[in-house]
A and B are shown apart, each in its own frame.
Chain A
Amino acid sequence: MELTILTFLPTAAAAVIMVLPERLEQRARWVALAGSLATLVLSIVLFFQFDHGASGFQFTERRKWVDIGSFNLQYGLGVDGLSLPLVVLTTFLTVASTLVSFSITMRPRLYFAMLMLLSTSVLGVFMSLDFILFFLFWELELFPMFLLISIWGSGRKEYSATKFVLYTIAGSAFMLVGILVLAFSANTFDIEVLGRSNFVDTIIPLRWVFLFLFIGFAVKLPIVPLHTWLPDAHSDAPTAVSVMLAGVLLKMGGYGIIRIGVTILPGVADDYGIWFAAIGAISILYGAFVTLRQTDLKRLIAYSSVSHMGLVLLGIGALGKTSMIGATYQMLAHGVITGLLFVMVGLMYERTHTREIARLGGLARQMPLITAGMVFAGFASLGLPALPGFIAEVTVFLGSFQKYEWAVLMGIFGVVLSAGYILWTLQRTVFGPVRAEWDSVTDQNTWWEHSVVLGLVAAIILLGVYPALMMDVIGPAFDPIVARLGS
């Protein structure tokens, strides 16, 4: 029951928001904040109640849903060491997104309701134990995202929103085929049961099934060359949506590859591992090279995300316990770090109304606090040691080195390139001669801005200096997978 409450608490908040009378519509943000905070607290409580040493799902709940012959669908939720950290990340970033949206006054009821719905759909994806339920949550996320980008976005927002939806749907079409083939040949939609089943080639070979599933997830991650929706979606989305998009939506891709692809078809994953490593390494480098060319701050961070997500795929491809823990940790690290980066850029944009790097410069004088946050986030993003990006990076590299030396040696060049694009960006935006143009702008100055920045900074430091907190939870989740891979 706890997980159902957790999943639908944001929806309940959305419902309350939608029935607010018009004269109270500016209160919508408070309802959203209350709802998201309650969800966060609940997820943290569950995190500490969770049996950290154990593998397998906990807090599971299953209810019959559709039962027609062999077509058995259930409403099933559960968390294990892989999903629980991602759940906490989602609830945490939902609070952050709500806070950075506090200045939104245009149609606030719809806005905050959609933000809450988005949270529910992502939580649902991470906790579903049933294939169809998983797919429904996966698709549900498109609806709030489309509205949030196309109504509250900027620039070519309709184009970007449509591109985002079409890309995902094209991927999900493949994924659905893969899901149905697996479910029908195993006669169950239960992800936990599927994870213990052995499959043989049917009319569609398993390699194809895996590929279909992978395409759906790879679009989301994203990998090169399925990534071009991401810069567009980010640059035209409002700040909070960028935070959610980079922070948790991309992780649905990585989560899916591990939970559905690797867990259910470990043998095939092993065959494809070398391709994952190659695509991962290419994504790291390609993303970083193109990042160096960007002139728009949000597109720049978006491309850097492509690079950072390549690391996730590399870690998964090596299929070792260490490398997959590293990949999972990278998802958490990237979530909080890129979340903070987008928050800082958002604060800057709200004040200067530009994301054009060439127009910025010298902001350290006018915005010392925003600059401090930006520099911190930048160094976290380039993998400064004792911050989580570094821990994840090194764990993936160490875990993958034995198997795919060449891919790791390609990937570590990303370390220099990321230092290049981050520091060059800092030099051109916050450092350098002070510009009189921005003399009248304010620094970070509201309580919600202070709290969201401080909260993210604290989370980044916590994950950086105390990795065992999450690693000890993540680790056991991979034991069954590694055991299946070994056999």
Chain B
Amino acid sequence: MPFLAAEPITTLVPSISEGILWAIGASPFAAFVVIALSYRWFPKIAGYLAILGVGAAMVLAYVTLFNVIDADGGIAQYTHEWFRAGSLVVNLGVRVDGLTAIMLVAVTTVSFLVQVYSTGYMAGDPGIGRYFAYMCLFTTAMLGLVLADNLFMLFIFWELVGLSSYLLIGFWYHRPAAAAAAKKAFIVTRVGDLGLLAAILLIWTRTPTHTFDIATIQQVAANHQVAQWVITWFALGVLAGAIGKSAQFPLHVWLPDAMEGPTPVSALIHAATMVVAGVYLVARFFPVFEASPDARQVVAWVGAITAIMAACIALVQTDFKRVLAYSTISQLGYMMLALGAFGYAAAIFHLFTNAFFKALLFLGSGSVNHSTNTFDMRKMGGLRKAMPITFWTFVIASLSLAGIFPLAGFWSKDEILLDAWRDNRALWAAAFAGAFLTAFYMFRAIFLTFFGDYKGGEPVDHHDPENHFHGDPAHPHESPWSMAGPLLVLAVPAVAVGWFAYRDAFADFVNGALPAVEESGSSFEWGIAISSTIVALAGIGLAYAVYYKEWVTSKSLREGFAPLTILFENKFYLDRLYEDFFVRTVLQRGWNRLLELNDKYVVDGIVNGTGQLGRELSQRLRIVQNGQLQTYGLGFAAGVIILVLAVFTANPL
């Protein structure tokens, strides 16, 4: 198999036809259109249409993957002109290479399984047609994002992904928390998008050929055909966009709130696919970051800070899904850290493995919610007997995430630790500490949820007309096969996709997307592997001691670390700073109000004052208009004399 052969990068071009590439995006889009037009009358078939549309895309994505494998990770690109305005020429085009192929497969596979799962999870919801329409729209946008061959088109799908995320977070729009979270997600990510937009403006203006083409921009940066400050600012702008989309510090605040959306949405969009778009973007422009050491440093430290900070917050969450949300942020931080430490392949590898085990974790939490009607871990416990499939798949995914040999997460996390070690010991220390925290908070969640005694879940409120919960939370049960099936299927890649690390096959494959690759040595070292395994086991052991055996109570632990735990529980006070202080106080009550008052009193004051003045003046001028022709004549003559004098003074003869 050429995929496993560690051959040098060749310049083979994949023979994949353009039609197939467009069809990958078009099939979920077609499903979106058909569902959107039909769901008012046929809501029941929406789920099947979505499965069909996404399934077709998945098949084509695998066809593409094997085609690119045959070409040893070469690049194929097809471009057409879309419109032009003066020197601005905008193209629409698709590009496929190793990175694209990996993304296509991850996105379509997870999306397909999530659609299947959703037919069970969302059954009975009155908005189910709308739900699947949005899901297909999202899948289309995400596929467009990874297929785009130029920055302009990438930005379009980037924003459309944001739109579908907004619609899905706010899917239960009658809940104030959901409506607020949707808005927050869109606006916060848009703050990052400002940077991306500015980067696009800058690079288009400064490249000699005025282009958006990704390959050209990569080369321009790698060959330093533009000034260094342009490269650095472009890279930082791209990073700003990535920070927003991939929920990195300091714009991570939207992602935990996004958990207000239905859980399959969280699994697909806010864990496995959309949130990795930022990582994908930085990876896409990796040569630019290589050309700018400053920007690369910023990437690494943003990632490191995010990884640690989010892991700390995850330690104190009581909401099952929020633990996973902060875990996602933390893992995305790992990927960024890797990119900043020259670990391009490691970052994408972790992106790939994370997509599967993180989706599995979220779907598992949805399965728990489906039977207990709550995400509050204080109301759960002992679910391992009632929900064996959910329990075992969840444990597998958690072990994978914690980085236990030989599961998928072990391989990808190890590569990141290794790259960090080689680049900067401080980065490695941050990643190493993060590994401990990860293992601890995941197993804390497992012990609280699946072990001990069941605490009854959340009773169903039958007076709430919006509640569509079926079943009895007092007697938890395993979820239906439409939901348990995808859990079992996802458990396979959560275990096995790490094995593509064998003989650097994965790295060689994705490296084909770059113009040039520096050889960084082997991707495995015993020291790193053993130390990371020990630290992960230590985290699990501590969780076991505190939450299962209760040798040390969590209460005394919390009090022992008092100032820190309070800081963590308040999410470092960042939400308060942004919303209460900046938006509500500084902007709305201060600055915006000032401008509004300026309009009301200053501008309109002048306008109305002028009107008033006019009225008063006309009262006085009435005296002049006395109807006596002699007076008018006098005035007329005086006027003419003044005009003549004026003209002659201005233009002397």
Enumerate chain A interface residues (CB-CB to B < 8 A).
Answer: 163, 166-167, 203, 225, 227-229, 286, 289-290, 292-293, 320-323, 325-326, 329, 362, 364-365, 379, 384-386, 390-391, 394-395, 397-399, 401-402, 408-409, 412-413, 415-416, 419-420, 423-424, 426-427, 430-434, 466-468, 471-472, 474-475, 478
CB pair A166 B201 closer than 8 Å: no
Residues on the A chain within 8 Å of B194, using CB: 412-413, 415-416
CB pair A293 B588 closer than 8 Å: yes
A-B contact pairs, 21 of them (CB 8 A): A163-B607, A289-B595, A290-B596, A293-B592, A293-B593, A320-B86, A322-B88, A365-B174, A401-B202, A401-B204, A419-B190, A426-B183, A427-B182, A427-B183, A431-B170, A431-B174, A434-B174, A467-B82, A468-B82, A474-B85, A475-B86
Q: Is B125 an interface residue (CB 8 A)?
A: no
CA distance in complex: A386, B651 (Å): 58
CA distance in complex: A365, B466 (Å): 11
CB distance from B466 to the nearest CB of A (A): 9
Q: Is B176 an interface residue (CB 8 A)?
A: yes
Enumerate chain B interface residues (CB-CB to A < 8 A).
Answer: 82-88, 152, 155-160, 163, 166, 170, 173-174, 176, 179-180, 182-183, 186-187, 190-191, 193-194, 197-198, 200-202, 204-205, 587-588, 591-593, 595-596, 599, 603-604, 607, 611, 647, 650-651
Residues on the A chain within 8 Å of B183, using CB: 423-424, 426-427
Residues on the A chain within 8 Å of B604, using CB: 228
CB pair B83 A364 closer than 8 Å: no
Q: Chain B's interface: helix, strand, loop or mixed, by majority?
A: helix
8 Å CB contact of A384 from B83, B160, B592: B160
CA distance in complex: A433, B607 (Å): 41
In the complex, the 6 A-B pairs of residues with the closest C-beta atoms, listed nearest first: A321-B86, A322-B86, A385-B156, A431-B179, A468-B83, A325-B85
CB-nearest residue of chain A to B608:
A163
CB pair A419 B592 closer than 8 Å: no
CB distance from B172 to the nearest CB of A (A): 10
CB pair A467 B197 closer than 8 Å: no
Residues on the A chain within 8 Å of B84, using CB: 468, 471, 475
CB pair B204 A293 closer than 8 Å: no
Known: A203-B647, A290-B595, A290-B599. A432 touches B174 (CB 8 A): yes
Residues on the B chain within 8 Å of A424, using CB: 183
Residues on the B chain within 8 Å of A413, using CB: 194
Known: A292-B587, A408-B201. A395 touches B174 (CB 8 A): no
CB pair A379 B163 closer than 8 Å: yes
CB-nearest residue of chain A to B81:
A468
CB pair A384 B174 closer than 8 Å: no
CB distance from A154 to the nearest CB of B (A): 20
CA distance in complex: A163, B611 (Å): 9
Q: Chain A's interface: helix, strand, loop or mixed, by majority?
A: helix
CB pair B201 A467 closer than 8 Å: no
CB pair B187 A409 closer than 8 Å: no
Residues on the B chain within 8 Å of A430, using CB: 173
CA distance in complex: A431, B553 (Å): 43
CB distance from B630 to the nearest CB of A (A): 30
CA distance in complex: A419, B157 (Å): 17
CB distance from B151 to the nearest CB of A (A): 11
CB distance from B253 to the nearest CB of A (A): 15
Residues on the A chain within 8 Å of B156, using CB: 385-386, 390
CA distance in complex: A468, B183 (Å): 32
CB pair B174 A420 closer than 8 Å: no
CB pair B85 A395 closer than 8 Å: yes
Residues on the B chain within 8 Å of A163, using CB: 607
CB pair A412 B198 closer than 8 Å: yes
CB pair A321 B87 closer than 8 Å: yes
CB pair B197 A384 closer than 8 Å: no
CA distance in complex: A470, B25 (Å): 27
Known: A286-B595, A427-B180. A412 touches B187 (CB 8 A): no
CB distance from B177 to the nearest CB of A (A): 10
Counting chain B CB atoms within 10 Å of each CB, the highest count among A320, A379, A394 belongs to A394
CB-nearest residue of chain A to B583:
A420
CB-nearest residue of chain A to B647:
A203
CB-nearest residue of chain B to A232:
B604
Residues on the B chain within 8 Å of A390, using CB: 156, 159
Residues on the B chain within 8 Å of A431, using CB: 170, 173-174, 179, 182
CB pair B83 A467 closer than 8 Å: yes
CB pair B592 A289 closer than 8 Å: yes
Residues on the A chain within 8 Å of B88, using CB: 322, 395, 398-399
CB-nearest residue of chain A to B193:
A415
CB pair B85 A399 closer than 8 Å: yes
8 Å CB contact of A416 from B163, B174, B187, B202: B187
CA distance in complex: A401, B86 (Å): 14
CB pair A397 B197 closer than 8 Å: yes
CB distance from A429 to the nearest CB of B (A): 11
Residues on the B chain within 8 Å of A323, using CB: 86
CB distance from B230 to the nearest CB of A (A): 12
Residues on the A chain within 8 Å of B158, using CB: 385
Residues on the A chain within 8 Å of B599, using CB: 228, 290
CB-nearest residue of chain A to B84:
A471
CB pair B607 A325 closer than 8 Å: no
Residues on the A chain within 8 Å of B173, using CB: 364, 430-432
8 Å CB contact of B163 from A384, A434, A478: A384
CB-nearest residue of chain B to A323:
B86
Residues on the A chain within 8 Å of B650, using CB: 203
CB pair B204 A225 closer than 8 Å: no
8 Å CB contact of B197 from A289, A412, A426: A412
Known: A385-B159, A415-B193, A419-B190. A289 touches B591 (CB 8 A): yes
CB-nearest residue of chain A to B176:
A432
CB pair B190 A398 closer than 8 Å: no
**Known contacts A203-B647, A227-B603, A424-B183, then 10 further A-B pairs from the complex at CB < 8 Å, ordered by chain A residue:** A229-B607, A289-B595, A290-B596, A386-B160, A399-B86, A401-B202, A412-B197, A415-B194, A419-B190, A431-B182
CB distance from B182 to the nearest CB of A (A): 8
CA distance in complex: A390, B186 (Å): 16
Residues on the B chain within 8 Å of A420, using CB: 187
CB-nearest residue of chain A to B152:
A394
CA distance in complex: A415, B587 (Å): 16
CB-nearest residue of chain A to B144:
A386
CB pair B204 A398 closer than 8 Å: yes
Residues on the B chain within 8 Å of A401, using CB: 201-202, 204-205
CA distance in complex: A83, B128 (Å): 46
CA distance in complex: A424, B190 (Å): 14
Counting chain B CB atoms within 10 Å of each CB, the highest count among A293, A386, A391 belongs to A293
CA distance in complex: A325, B157 (Å): 24
Residues on the B chain within 8 Å of A471, using CB: 83-85
8 Å CB contact of B651 from A203, A398, A415, A427: A203
CA distance in complex: A321, B88 (Å): 9
Counting chain B CB atoms within 10 Å of each CB, the highest count among A409, A424, A426, A431 belongs to A431
CA distance in complex: A193, B652 (Å): 31
CA distance in complex: A225, B599 (Å): 8
CB pair A385 B176 closer than 8 Å: no
CA distance in complex: A229, B599 (Å): 10
CA distance in complex: A289, B590 (Å): 11
8 Å CB contact of B174 from A326, A415, A433: A433
CB distance from B164 to the nearest CB of A (A): 11
CA distance in complex: A167, B595 (Å): 21
CA distance in complex: A460, B191 (Å): 25
